[in-house]
Amino acid sequence: GQNIDQPTEMTATEGAIVQINCTYQTSGFNGLFWYQQHAGEAPTFLSYNVLDGLEEKGRFSSFLSRSKGYSYLLLKELQMKDSASYLCAVQDSNYQLIWGAGTKLIIKP
Amino acid sequence: ETGVTQTPRHLVMGMTNKKSLKCEQHLGHNAMYWYKQSAKKPLELMFVYNFKEQTENNSVPSRFSPECPNSSHLFLHLHTLQPEDSALYLCASSGTAGGYSPLHFGNGTRLTVT
């Protein structure tokens, strides 16, 4: 079957750096997405990786290794507003999105 | 108004009621989706419409009935639901179904079935 694994919950300190990992086993691969979802709000698109390597967008970066079935989302200079759930999703060979259960990130002062 | 708008935000209904969820997108997208989100579980895709045609029905029980009158509007008609159907129902849109086209989500309808 198809599966996405990410940690259920992580805690980090304001101003620090945190890395949220995502491992996947899917039928084919056509890209990996990261979304952010604040409590009670809509998920919003953060990043997309289809080739190996690092994509940087301001304080957020996303890395992909297709051979290892692995991605991470790196958040730098953490702010209280970064407290949210982070969802990893992979497009399989049929362009179906397979979702992880999300990682709840708690930022402490 | 921009983005994806869902109404109502909250809905409480009995198991014998009939209600409808509404979704509207102002992004000029051609694909619309219904997802179910339950606590600590992955998003579950329910239905996909691409250019108003239903392209995906992910083994959803018939007590959920989608309707897509045009590319901007999507409805989810609910009848004789079960308590386990209580969840957050998210609508999303994208340029087209498949390919590189990030989803744009609405804020969801929090449904409670009593």
| Mean pLDDT of the residues in chain B | 93
Residue type (1 letter), A104? K
Q: Are A82 and A15 in contact (CB under 8 A)?
A: no
Nearest to A97 among B45, B105, B108 (CB): B45
**For tokens 């959803």, what's the residue?**
B60
Contact B43 A4 (CB under 8 A): no
As beta bridge partners, residue A3 has A25
What pLDDT does B97 receive? 82
As beta bridge partners, residue B23 has B6, B74
Q: Are B94 and B102 in contact (CB under 8 A)?
A: yes
Confidence tier at B56 by pLDDT (50, 70, 90):
confident
Chain B contact residues (CB < 8 Å to A): 4, 40-43, 45, 90, 97-100, 102-108
Structure tokens at A71: 């991605």
Q: What is the rounded distance in angstroms from the CA atom of residue A77 to the CA atom of residue A75?
A: 7
Q: What is the rounded distance in angstroms from the CA atom of residue A39 to the CA atom of residue A50?
A: 28
Q: What is the rounded distance in angstroms from the CA atom of residue A26 to the CA atom of residue A63?
A: 18
10-residue stretch averages of pLDDT, chain A, 109 residues long: 94 98 96 96 95 96 97 98 98 92 97
> What residues of A are in contact with residue B104 (Cβ under 8 Å)?
45
